[in-house]
Amino acid sequence: MKKITLNFLFIFTLLFATNTIAQTRYLDPVFPSVDTTNNIVYGVNYTVMVPGYVLPTGAVIPGVGAIPSLNFQFFEPTGDTEPERPLILYLHTGTFAPIIRNGNPTGSKDYDFATQVFCNQYAARGYAVANLEYRLGWNPYLPTEPERAASLMKAAYRGIQDVKSAIRFFRMTYENGNPYKIDTSRIIICGQGTGGWIATCLNSVDKVSELQLPKFLDGNGIPLIDTAVLGDWDGFGGVDTLNIPNHPGYSSEHDMVLNMGGAIGDISWLEAGDKPIAAVHGNLDAVAVYSTGNLSVSGVNVVSAISGSHDVVKKANMLGNNNSIPNLYDPYTLAAKHASAGLVGSMDFGGTTINETPDNLFPFNTGNPGEGSPWDFWDSATVVYLATAQGLPDSVGTQAHLSGLQTNPNMSLTKSYAYIDSTLNFFCPRIVNALMLPGNTVGVINDNDDFSVTIYPNPAKDFISFNSSTNINTITVYDMNGKAVRNYNPNRFTFTINVSDLPNGVYYAEISNTNGIKSEKFIIE
């Protein structure tokens, strides 16, 4: 297994290194190498993954203790001299069950290819990254929806408690010499898949009443989440044989959330004052629906009316929670806007028609029904190995591999890198601007009333002219995918370009002068 994993690391290190032109820390991979430290303990707590616990697959977990330690894998730039760096707490996917035993080829912080690439690439950009382990275990096949909802909610709730324990751990270490060189005023929660559920819910759950909505009560009106038993959302209180508070006396606060295909238990949880949130999400995601719908696992309804990234980000924007993210106009934001516009009038997996185009959301439209994580890549031999390492037959690993292909049929290394690259380049400018990091003016539109531009003819065939009220410094033309197809430095008020060789379609021109940037749409037919 070590050989396979090292091969993965070599591949992604090579590919990223050979395609990198470093420019700005926190935006670009300015560090050529990354140091990794494994198995750092940040806390302990009770888990349902006790010996004899039976997963929905019928598999029994052997030899797992009832009070495991919780650890993380730490990534940092090699040779970095910065004394305090923004901290990203990265949460892997996995449906709250161990890899392979969850029926999928993904679900491990250590062996998931995309998780390892993301953590390495954030660190190469200058961030400190903690790849967190969180508690697993739930049963989606209990006989009633309230029972299934309770089991899942408790799993997500334990995840929230664990992440907040990790936040307090880092604040504790900060006051004791700051060995991880972190900036405790800039803590980002990045959740992938199931981890996105934890991140999105963590961002909003802060009242007992939010856990007592009608859909979160059993048939007798008893809350499915009882804080008197499980402890509160910070991980304090509860029955002392079910919950262990970690690192009391330190703040559990975070500063930003990045959601990769997660959802929130109820949209009403999201309120003004919650932290900024940006998201990437498959518009045909079958588990965490793109807008609002029911959560189903293997065709079994678990929780009704959960809300995915479209509705979460839309409401966050409306409430002003994302006001710290300015009006960005970089190529990946353009691509996101174009992708959102292309979905208007379409339906997500849950059958909801999409009619809005929220900022700070990049919809990933792969065309594959049910696909929620196009960044995933796995090696079938590794998947089989992970099955046999858990005492399972080869056939279980093979089935997990085939199961993953049902929603990601064109899974490949090239596809994985493409979506990883898009995610990184969409998120990083938002981190930089929201948290006021160096270089926080990148991609920001400065709308100046004294700066006007006219484009003609529009639509165009062969030539298009730009007439500006001020001297034009640069013109960059982007296609509908956000790819730059033309770059000019006119240094004049009027400028004409030849577009006869460009394919028909919609384009955006980014025009800059000394005072700001304007964007104009035009059509080639």
From 434, 461, 477, the end of a domain falls on 434
Whether 479 contacts 522, CB under 8 Å: no
Q: What one-letter code names the amino acid at 56?
A: P
**Least confident among 160-174, 325-339, 349-363:** 325-339
Whether 47 contacts 136, CB under 8 Å: yes
Range of the domain at 513: 453-524
Give residue 456's pLDDT.
Answer: 79
Q: CA 281, CA 289: separation in Å to the nearest integer?
A: 9
In this structure, what token pair is assigned to residue 410?
A: 């064109």
- Kindly tell me if the per-residue pLDDT of 327 is higher than 60: yes
CA distances from 240 to 120, 230, 359 (A): 38, 9, 44
**Least confident among 44-53, 138-147, 185-194, 490-499:** 44-53
Helices 2-18, 380-389: inter-axial angle, 10-degree rounding: 150
Q: Is residue 457 located within the same domain as residue 430?
A: no
Q: Is residue 448 part of a domain?
A: no
Task: Please count the other Cβ atoms lying within 10 Å of the Cβ belonging to residue 323.
Answer: 11
From 434, 462, 483, the end of a domain falls on 434
The residue-averaged pLDDT of 154-162 equals: 94
CA distances from 320 to 191, 202, 205, 250 (A): 22, 18, 18, 28
Give residue 525's pLDDT.
Answer: 84
From 434, 462, 478, the end of a domain falls on 434
The residue-averaged pLDDT of 185-214 equals: 95
Q: Is residue 381 located within the same domain as residue 492?
A: no
Q: Is residue 160 part of a domain?
A: yes
- Over residues 432-487, the pLDDT tens digits come to 999 999 866 666 555 455 567 878 788 888 888 888 878 889 998 887 666 788 99
For the chain, how many structural domains are there in total?
A: 2
Q: What is the CA radius of gyration of the chain?
A: 24
Q: Is residue 44 located within the same domain as residue 150?
A: yes
The residue-averaged pLDDT of 345-369 equals: 95
